[in-house]
């Protein structure tokens, strides 16, 4: 899955779609909070995957910010 999220994030960065990245981030954060609040099952694997995706999205947001602040 990280490969897919990397491609999605790369596309958003290339299109300068900050809103899309923000929405993607909020969705993953809500998933993480929801899974962390559950009990009765070991959710450590999906939580770890979501945390990896959040890190990829954060890197994309940083790239977008860097690209926007670089003078032409």
Q: Is the pLDDT assigned to residue 1 strictly greater than 60?
A: no
Cα end-to-end span (Å), the chain: 35
Question: Which domain does 50 fall in, by range?
Answer: 2-69
**Number of compact structural domains in the chain:** 1
- pTM comes to 0.86
- Tell me, what's the pLDDT at 67? 81
Of all residues in the chain, the percent with pLDDT exceeding 90 is 81
Cα separation values, 55 from 5, 39, 41, 71, Å: 11, 24, 24, 26
Of all residues in the chain, the percent with pLDDT exceeding 70 is 93
């Amino acid at each position: 899955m990280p490969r897919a999220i990397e491609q999605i994030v790369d596309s958003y960065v290339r299109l300068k779609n900050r809103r899309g990245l923000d929405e993607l981030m909020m969705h993953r954060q809500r998933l993480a909070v929801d899974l962390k609040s559950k009990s009765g099952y070991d959710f450590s694997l999906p939580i770890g995957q979501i945390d990896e995706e959040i890190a990829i999205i954060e890197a994309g947001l940083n790239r977008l910010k860097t690209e926007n602040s670089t003078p032409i």
